[in-house]
Structure 1
């Protein structure tokens, strides 16, 4: 029998940064500052990301492009990898992502790509806790999402690797 199914998720759309809790306001500001660390000479699309760790530390990074396009790194993966390398036993509590166009103004939230969504999921599963995600362009609305699983329906996670030895 064929059945139609649907995915639904809730998120918050926010008009002004002051409507966020203070810690998430600071995280969003830091992600905007991280845009200046982005290296995007080919696309002109600069992205900054910041993560808040459970110990209160904020780690930030920007996307890093390469002339061989597929080998560039998104800001989210740069930031998550740096946080893991520097603070390996601290769970990620929240992630903020912002973007800036070199030749255009971005006035809407920019969401993580599929690879980044999968990477965020790995950190949720590693520490067994949801990661709140804050998204904004240079200006405009802010999206507050409560887990990457909302952005990645039918995700592939560590529980799908039942026949392998993983910890």
Structure 2
């Protein structure tokens, strides 16, 4: 038996104002994405902005449905839009934030497991890291250099993509 440890490295900031201009603009766009959230049931709005290597920024917001499993998280809305419209684009960075009128969110909201798996697939497909910024409106920012560090045991089975 071996006992192994995993460590992740990330940057922590007091607010968006401490980020470089490119990352601050990405966060501003994630905030803009909040306005298109369809969240009448949870009233919990999530916005995502993704910067492509071309410099283009793609937005996504959570989209709920009365039949809860039929909704989709902001991260997957944006990622699947990129997969559909820009199948060969390289993703450099993504910013994710959340907002609700029910209470003040005091810590950055992180992605769910399903979104992390999809993010990991995009990172694997492009064979380069995707930087992820989680931030709290008017508060703390966490910046992670790669999805791999967030989901080190993502589902991977190379034989599923192999030709028979």
Question: What band does the TM-score fall into relative to the shorter chain?
Answer: over 0.9
- Alpha-carbon distance, 1:56 to partner: 0.4
Pairwise CA distance, 1:164:
4.5
1:79 deviates by 0.6
- Give the equivalent residue in structure 2 for 1:17: 16
Q: Residue by residue, what CA displacement relative to the aligned partner does 1:60-111 show, whole Å, maximum 9, x if unpaired?
A: 0110001111121000000111122222221110010000013111121111
Describe the SS at the equivalent of 1:162.
helix
Q: 2:162 aligns with which of 146, 161, 165?
A: 165
Quote the Cα distance in structure 2 between the aligned partners of 1:148 and 1:98.
16
Partner SS, residue 159 of structure 2:
coil
Structure 2 residue aligned with 1:29: 28
**CA distance in 1 between partners of 2:85 and 2:22 (Å):** 20
Q: Normalising by the residue count of structure 1, what TM-score does the alignment of the two structures yield?
A: 0.92
- Equivalent positions of 1:35-74 (< 5 A) are 35-74=34-73
Q: Map 1:16-165 onto structure 2 (within 5 A).
A: 16-157=15-156, 160-162=157-159, 164-165=161-162
Contact 1:105 1:138 in 2 (8 A): no
TM-score, length of structure 2 as denominator length: 0.93
The verdict on how the C-alpha distance between 1:41 and 1:112 changes in structure 2, with shifts beyond 3 A counting, is same
Residues 59 and 79, structure 1, Cα contact 8 Å, conserved in 2: yes
RMSD between aligned residues: 1.4
Q: 2:15, 2:138 within 8 Å by CA — same for their partners in 1?
A: no
